[in-house]
Amino acid sequence: MTDLSRRQVTLDEVAERAGVSRSAASRVINNAPHVSKAKRAAVLRAVADLGYVPNATARALATQQAGAVVLAISSDSAQVFADPFFAEVVVGISATLDETELELMLLLATSSRGRTRLEQLLRTRQAAGVMLMSMHGDDPLARLAEQSDVPVVFGGCPIGFEPRYYVDADNRGGARLATEHLIASGRTRIATITGRMDEGAGGARYKGFQEALAVAGLDASRVAHADFSEDGGTAAMRELLDKHADLDAVFVASDQMAVGALQVVKEAGRSVPGDVAIVGFNDIAGARHIDPPLTTVAQPIQSLGREMARMLLALISGDTPTPLILPTRLVRRGSS
């Protein structure tokens, strides 16, 4: 105790004495919610034992920001606001946060300003927690987030490593289901339009497609790459028809891309599903209203948002949740 009394005790020392994470100790000291009674009592004992005195400036900053959590999406604004997937994720997150005092902030992390802002949030703890989605490639922001003291939950797994805390859908299994469905319906010249291959979901769905065709002994070389947008699906479908005029089915890695692909097939004078069967992925609200209604792989999108928020709340409270993979299922409609 003598050594500690000669200098200012740190928050890390309080957390170590209490046997809790640094974030849990900070929330107790700043009188923030979402900390268990046992952890709160342990931190207060450690504060008294060590004689900890919070830095006034840091305390004011933490208190001001304690009511906010951040959803950081590494996509540009046009894609985020055009894709119903992200809207449904936000609905799920908001439904969980509505039960708390926490506010949700949206941050687009593709621009240099957005990335700098996210780095600042992670380094300076100006938010109670962060949720990250759509990280591209081996993004250094993903690793910075893993090393930060701020509670962080990933929506999906980034390329290159598996984070400690994440919620994802069974993208690989869902893509395998879609492709097996096309095979079972008698299709043998099956193509795919992938999503972004520097995102975890894009790579996983492509692997599921390849696995299903490998088991069936079918050619998996009919491939076009796109970016999960409708325009991307349009361009990729035109590429496939130019290179593989004999194709009789397409697994498209998102419903948005499938909408564009289906229109191209019809404009080429081919019937859906008679000449070309099409299966999408996500089961967005509009999938049942296109002509013909889209067969797709349903993932629980709002549940993805809800579970991300619940996992973040658990981390903020000082708990240690486990990663979660949500199931997917095939929804059969008129396009296949």
Closest CA to 148 of 179, 121, 174, 169: 121
The reply to whether the predicted model has a pTM over 0.85 is no
In a domain, 336, yes or no: no
Tell me, yes or no, whether 215 and 277 share the same domain: yes
In a domain, 160, yes or no: yes
Tell me, yes or no, whether 187 and 294 share the same domain: yes
- Domain residues for 98? 67-169+302-327
Tell me, yes or no, whether 74 and 95 share the same domain: yes
Scanning 8-148, the segments in alpha helix (DSSP H) are 11-18, 22-29, 37-50, 56-65, 77-82, 84-97, 112-124, 140-147
d(CA 197, CA 204): 9
Tell me, yes or no, whether 175 and 130 share the same domain: no
Tell me, yes or no, whether 12 and 29 share the same domain: yes
Most confident of 16-25, 111-120, 123-132, 188-197: 188-197
Q: Does position 239 have pLDDT exceeding 60, yes or no?
A: yes
Q: What is the mean pLDDT of the chain?
A: 87
Tell me, yes or no, whether 144 and 191 share the same domain: no
Tell which wins on pLDDT, 168 or 80.
168
Query: Residue 293's pLDDT band (boundaries 50, 70, 90)?
Result: very high
The CATH number assigned to the domain holding 20 equals 1.10.260.40
Query: Residue 115's pLDDT band (boundaries 50, 70, 90)?
Result: confident
Per the structure block, which two tokens stand in for 55? Answer: 């830095």
The CATH number assigned to the domain holding 216 equals 3.40.50.2300
Instruction: Return the SS3 of 130.
Output: strand
In a domain, 334, yes or no: no
Tell me, what's the pLDDT at 33? Answer: 64
> To 5 degrees, how large is the angle CA 246–CA 252–CA 258?
100
d(CA 38, CA 19): 11
Tell me, yes or no, whether 308 and 193 share the same domain: no
Tell me, yes or no, whether 162 and 308 share the same domain: yes
In a domain, 124, yes or no: yes
Tell me, yes or no, whether 130 and 198 share the same domain: no
Scanning 138-247, the segments in alpha helix (DSSP H) are 140-147, 171-184, 200-216, 230-243
Buried b / exposed e along 267-286 (16+ C-beta atoms within 10 A): eeebebbeebbbbbbbbbee
Last residue of a domain, one of 44, 63, 82: 63
The total domain count for the chain is 3
Q: Does position 5 have pLDDT exceeding 70, yes or no?
A: no
Per the structure block, which two tokens stand in for 139? Answer: 């993004």
In a domain, 252, yes or no: yes
In a domain, 265, yes or no: yes
Last residue of a domain, one of 31, 48, 63: 63
> To 5 degrees, how large is the angle CA 62–CA 68–CA 169?
130
In a domain, 332, yes or no: no
Average pLDDT value for residue range 230-244 = 97
